[in-house]
Structure 1
Amino acid sequence: MSLTKRVLLAMVCGIAVGIGLNNYLGITPDNPVPATPAGQWILQYVVDGFLDAIGQIFLASLKLLVVPLVFISMVGGSASLGNHSSMGRMAGKTIFLYIITTSIAVSIALAISLAVGPGEGLNMKLPENVALPTAPSIKDTLVGIFPSNPIQAMAEGNMLQIIVFSLLFGVAVSRTETSRKYILELFDHLNNVVIKMILMLMELAPYGVFCLLAKLFVTTGYEAVLDLAKYFFTLLGILIFYGVCVYSLMLKAFTGLSPLKFGRKMWPVLLFGFSTSSSGATMPFTMRTIQHDLGVDNKVASFTVPLGTAINMDGTAIMQGVATVFIAQAYGIDIGLSGYLMVIITASLAAIGTAAVPSAGMIMLAMVLQQAGLPLEGIALVLSVDRLLDMVRTSVNIAGDGVVSCIVANSEKLLDRERFNDMNKTV
């Protein structure tokens, strides 16, 4: 079986086993502990023990490669382009596209949510003693982009700071004429080694995916979805519409490439992002697929993919837009046109500072609610279903990275269209 089929089979089996165990153990949001000793043993040693351990080890193994991959690929790419005007042009196109797509995403989310009204007529009571996240200020977010200690940034996995340092290092290498050739060769060899490590780990992906999803659905179940069905399906529908329709139109309009071929080649990555809920953990797989299967040159992919993982959060911005409308309607608060315009601006900025880890969007949602004048306690209303929706919006974020990479590469004449159209070049 191909890797795609094995990952898909692992997802189906993991979800089925998780829901089956959830029903057998009788776990609900109000009763998270099984009533029988046998059920408690299964929850403690099988679910929270074996399944969680395998899943966390697999995620940790992937995250192990993220920092080396970003640093090595971005230094190599920027060193190759650092002395050319194409470097600044490519960076400008990439950042512009990411900001525009995020703004469009949150605008569509607000428009559809206001039409549907997911929170209208709700008089929901907030649970007591909920720990709410605190949002950093916009100033702190912008200042935090620039590293004071690159080693510390790498140790903490601060993606934006790693990107800034890697770009500066690469440009400096490009201007060192005597050493440039040898350093580029070194980083090219190191990049090949990291890619080989990625391929090794991908063979273990089905086992990690099975354990992650089984554990998630044992503890989550599906009852939480029924309580917030209108919000859940509104957000889910917008995410699917944006990921399928908007990205397809962008890819076809700017490159003339087939969205169907793009979807088939990115499908394994999207499945993997769905199961891990982390575009950061998925990034090694994303980078390899965009280069090897879509034909995007390393000079482009080494810049667009790490930057997209850090700042391209269209799925997160959609969630923030829908959640804002839902919370405002649930509380009966009308924030007006100016309030929703502020949501678009703040959500676009907040997406830049959102970490590429599961449920990090909830932290940035606090910033959006503050700017809109809505109570932060409203976050508690959507927490119960956020973990499931986080899986979908992670896939949307990853699809956006692929589309922007293809658009930028095509505009720079660095896209191998023959490789893109070759359906044998897939995982």
Structure 2
Amino acid sequence: SLWPVDAAGAKLLLAAAPEGAQVGAGAPFGEFLKTIAPSNPIRAAADDAILGIVVFAVFFGFAASRLPERLRVPLTTFFEAVGETMIIIVRWVLVAAPIGVFALSLGVGLTAGASAAGVLLHYVVVISVACIGIGLLFYPLVMVFGRVSLGRFARAAAPAQVVAFSTQSSLASLPVMVERAVDMLGVKRATAGLVLPLAVAVFRVTSPVANLGVALYCAHLFGIQPSAGQLVAAMLTAALISVGTVGLPGQVSFFASIAPICIAMGVPLEMLPLLLAVEVIPDIFRTLGNVTADLAVTRMVQGHDDVTEG
């Protein structure tokens, strides 16, 4: 209501999907639950059922951890090599992606005019503010549960936040996070060496919020009002998908993270390529929020251990 974009959004939609986007009704919540665990993971991969693939991969990983070492090590090495190979391919794709995004943006700009920039700016502000809010939430939490002053935590987190801002990668920020947690927050090196890598791998607290925000923003532009069941399905999807993404710049996994949420709510995907063009800005605040939360949680774990030992 304070910053409406309905008219400008309509022009942008017309430019993004000139032939009209097919707005689906979204799967009922019961049907959504049936798709979480795929009966055939190979078919799920072929059909781009990303949520089912992620759920299967999580259970597969837990099961693999119970194997004896002689079987677990070769399996881990194989999938590590596959993962690194896929990252290299993604980087190749990202080198060429700006050309395609520029061509798409040029066409949209010629059709929608300056109103397209206004909608994209509105999107950047909404998603960025959501990520900033999540990050700020952890300052009072670490004061209460981590037993550390606000100024001390802010000084400890600042260098890691600078690295996060410049690299958009939680993985790249990990060495600085370990150093600051040990030197400034009084975290034991063994605790920091365990909690922080685990947090970087699976605790991306801003990802479900931001990804769900993108899907809801697209729903608003298309005039879709998701039902309560669809919102619950979208939230579950956002939480599960965040576990399976990597700690690299968000452009790498933008479509894989958000498309399943849109599908759960019956939201068309035509807007996602345009939003990807400006995702670099919200992704900065995603990473800042994640790094801040990781450090806060690590200090809270150490604070709990100190109380237990005491």
What is the root-mean-square deviation in Å for CA atoms of aligned residues? 3.1
Query: Secondary structure at 1:376's aligned position in 2?
Result: coil
> Does residue 150 in structure 1 map to residue 76 in structure 2?
yes
Aligned pairs for 1:100-249 within 5 A = 120-121=6-7, 122-123=9-10, 124=13, 125-126=15-16, 135-137=50-52, 138-143=54-59, 145-146=61-62, 147=64, 149-156=75-82, 226-244=118-136, 246-249=137-140
Q: What does 1:300-319 correspond to in 2, within 5 Å?
A: 300-319=191-210
CA deviation after TM superposition for structure 1 residue 268, in Å: 0.9
Structure 1 residue 381: Cα displacement:
3.5
- Residue equivalent to 2:148: 257
* CA deviation after TM superposition for structure 1 residue 315, in Å: 2.0
Matched, 1:375 2:257: no
CA distance in 1, matches of 2:188, 2:56: 34
What code does the residue aligned with 2:291 have? I
Stretch of structure 1 that moved more, 145-154 or 251-260 = 145-154
Q: Do the aligned partners of 2:152 and 2:184 also contact (CA within 8 Å) in 1?
A: no
Q: Is the 8 A contact 1:310 1:356 kept in 2?
A: yes
Q: 292, 297, 301: which is aligned to 1:399?
A: 292
Aligned to 2:277: 384
1:376 is displaced (CA, Å) by 2.6
In structure 2, how many angstroms separate the alpha carbons of the residues matched to 1:375 and 1:249?
A: 38
1:270 aligns with 2:161: yes
Offset of 1:260 from its aligned partner?
A: 2.3
Conserved 8 A contact 1:316-1:361: no
Question: 1:330 aligned to 2:188?
Answer: no
Given that residues 118 and 326 in structure 1 are in contact (C-alpha distance below 8 angstroms), is that contact kept between their aligned partners in structure 2?
no
CA separation of 1:250/1:225 partners in 2, compared to 1, >3 Å: closer, same or farther?
farther
Letter in 2 for 1:237: V
Residue correspondence of structure 1 range 83-98 to structure 2 within 5 A: none
Query: Once the 2 structures are TM-superposed, how far is the Cα of residue 273 of structure 1 from its aligned partner?
Result: 0.9
2: distance between equivalents of 1:120 and 1:253?
42
Amino acid paired to 2:152 = K
Aligned AA (2:159): P
Q: Which amino acid aligns with 1:294?
A: L
SS of 2:224's equivalent in the other structure is: coil
* Correspondences of 1:6-155 after superposition (within 5 Å): 120-121=6-7, 122-123=9-10, 124=13, 125-126=15-16, 135-137=50-52, 138-143=54-59, 145-146=61-62, 147=64, 149-155=75-81
CA distance in 2, matches of 1:225, 1:268: 33
**Alpha-carbon distance in structure 1 between the residues aligned to 2:57 and 2:235:** 17
Which secondary structure state, in structure 2, belongs to the residue aligned with residue 412 of structure 1? Answer: helix
5+ long unaligned stretches in structure 2:
19-47, 65-71, 85-97, 103-113
CA contact (8 A) 2:174 2:197 kept: yes
The CA distance in 2 between the partners of 1:351 and 1:118, in whole Å, is 30
Amino acid at match of 2:76: P
Distance 2:307 2:198 in 1: 18
User: Amino acid of the residue matched to residue 124 of structure 2?
Assistant: F
Runs of 4 or more consecutive aligned structure 1 residues displaced over 4 Å after TM superposition: 115-121, 223-227
AA aligned opposite 2:272? I
Secondary structure of the structure 2 residue equivalent to 1:145: helix
Letter of the structure 2 residue corresponding to residue 390 of structure 1? D
Instruction: Decide whether the 8 Å contact of 1:134 with 1:366 is kept in 2.
Output: no
Question: For residues 268 and 178 of structure 2, what CA distance do their matches in structure 1 show?
Answer: 39
| CA-CA distance at 1:250 after TM superposition | 1.1
CA deviations 1:71-129 (Å, max 9, x no partner) are xxxxxxxxxxxxxxxxxxxxxxxxxxxxxxxxxxxxxxxxxxxx87876452123279x
TM norm structure 2: 0.67
Matches of 2:303 and 2:201 in 1, distance apart? 22
Distance 2:61 2:298 in 1: 22
Q: CA deviation at 1:398?
A: 0.8
Q: Map Cα deviations across residues 304-334 of structure 1 (whole Å, 9 max, x no partner).
A: 1111111111222221121111100111111
Q: Aligned partner of 1:233: which letter?
A: V
Change (3 A) 1:370 1:243: same
Asked if structure 2 preserves the Cα contact closer than 8 Å seen for 1:277 and 1:391, the reply is yes
Inter-CA distance 292–396: structure 2 relative to 1 (3 Å threshold): same
Unaligned runs of 5+ in 1: 1-114, 159-215, 416-427
- Please say which of residues 279-288 and 136-145 is displaced more in the overlay: 136-145
Aligned equivalent of 2:190: 299
C-alpha separation between the residues in 2 aligned to 1:395 and 1:255?
Answer: 19
